[in-house]
Structure 1
């Protein structure tokens, strides 16, 4: 059995940006976790490609635009990939047997609080946004910022603009106070693209039970992530350890809200037997030992696809 897979976060665009010799289509180097071939092996029906640009790179918006250019030249040139910007795009990708590919941005540092930049990114296909990484910027404090402040006034303005445009709001890297600011300000919903349960493993990047319940109440989704140090404090980290986070979210009422957010290509260490999309079969098999096939289909892709069909913009892009 090969259940369709939807993954809400990978960083392969970051690696392609850093090394122009790498290829999403034919990675002979073995340096990429996410490639076309590995996605096909996994049974992927949807993948979010995050735009993440290190602040050690040159200043300005150029690295963001270059990441989008790489998405077009290396990912979308494939006939087996369908660009997803709307509900209709996603429906077309599923009915056509292609892999839906959506852009997100992880950190708005380079937008400098300029609404025109955000509107332009929407026109370029960005459909989900995390306001910061682990640091503080003009919009919000990140999860690892010691002062733990929330959204700035400009950050709250951008929450409202994202809702107006149809850009999904991603809370994964926010400080706890910024999380609650976003939840209170959002007029639609929120999601966590790649976060786990802090009641299973206390970590500033994981979500408290109250945060998980808030996402559920807002009809959002939570992408359990394969980052080993967000999963377990011991080594090696196993798929069974990851299942404890799924179980906890379900205990809090989240069976309809669990999805996958691997963070492949954003990590250098891995869960045992989960080193790339080609290994997701191992996660599926472990889930099927604990849950019904219907439940596992929800976790692997059903919840994410349903969420997107509810919250992506209307109209064929």
Structure 2
């Protein structure tokens, strides 16, 4: 069945590679065009991620460089890939076409300049997380003091995102920033987060967060990273332990509010059975004993497709 995956970091990996990597089939990449075909991808979200160690003065240029990688190394060489710049295009994809969607994993690259954020909107981002794990000019990330929240400039950035119907991604926010953003965001998701009750790390969502997110109209896409599946365990984590997160979240908020957010090319460790993007079909098979076929089709793609039908074109 078709899959929509809400998060991968292949652009970052392409940008830091010492030698050029081929998006078609490079073995160094978890997500490739050939892999997406085998995965039966309907769409893949490509995150722009700027390393925290890059000087602030260079972060904007680094983000622009990743957009160039997306345009000239991911999309342009391959007829099968279609850059999705408004959500209506998802329904217009033809057989054999795969939607390629830009997102931002944190707004570090904009500093405190809304014009820079506007430039990323103009480049076609459709999702934006406000932070990675650390503090920036917008808000506080997951590893920061959980009592510190959205900043005044963050409210301005959020309003600009709302004005352009950009989906706000709460995945990497700390708790207070999450609660500050939720009532203000026009469209909201968690693109790659798991269940805090099953794996109590700061990157996962607590029960009240998941419930509130869904009540605000949002969706939750679960992530494959072992450390967010089984706390403190880098290796030896298995696919059934990830399935348990789907089962718990479905019982709490409904299977129709769930989706996939792999984090491929952004993980130092992997679940034993999920080594690259094409293995996502195996995950769907492991969901089968616990969910109906209609629920699995929804988790794979159609839940998110239904979610974005409410979003007006920019």
Same fold (TM over 0.5): yes
In the aligned structure 1, how far is the partner of 2:199 from the partner of 2:25?
A: 37
Give the corresponding residue for 1:308: 308
In the aligned structure 2, how far is the partner of 1:41 from the partner of 1:96?
A: 14
1:46 aligns with 2:43: yes
From 177, 190, 193, give the equivalent of 2:191.
193
In the aligned structure 2, how far is the partner of 1:50 from the partner of 1:209?
A: 26
TM-fit CA distance, 1:314: 1.9
1:183-262 to 2 correspondences below 5 Å: 183-186=182-185, 188-233=186-231, 234=233, 235-262=235-262
Give the corresponding residue for 2:137: 138
SS of aligned partner of 1:103: strand
Gap regions ≥5 residues in structure 2 = none
Give the corresponding residue for 1:168: 167
Normalized against structure 1, the TM-score is what? 0.94
TM-fit CA distance, 1:26: 3.2
SS of aligned partner of 2:259: strand
In the aligned structure 2, how far is the partner of 1:292 from the partner of 1:50?
A: 31
| Counterpart contact for 2:210–2:253, Cα < 8 Å | no
Gap regions ≥5 residues in structure 1 = none
TM-fit CA distance, 1:107: 1.4
1:34 aligns with 2:31: yes
In the aligned structure 2, how far is the partner of 1:86 from the partner of 1:147?
A: 34
In the aligned structure 1, how far is the partner of 2:115 from the partner of 2:192?
A: 27
TM-fit CA distance, 1:96: 4.2
1:283 aligns with 2:280: no
After the TM superposition, which parts of structure 1 deviate over 4 Å for at least 4 consecutive aligned residues? Answer: none
CA-to-aligned-CA distance 1:40-68 (integer Å, 9 cap, x gap) = 00110010000001132353311111100
Give the corresponding residue for 1:6: 4
In the aligned structure 2, how far is the partner of 1:101 from the partner of 1:309?
A: 17
SS of aligned partner of 2:255: coil
Give the corresponding residue for 2:69: 70
Give the corresponding residue for 1:25: 24
Give the corresponding residue for 1:88: 88
TM-fit CA distance, 1:306: 1.5
1:57 aligns with 2:80: no
Give the corresponding residue for 1:153: 152
| Counterpart contact for 1:6–1:300, Cα < 8 Å | yes
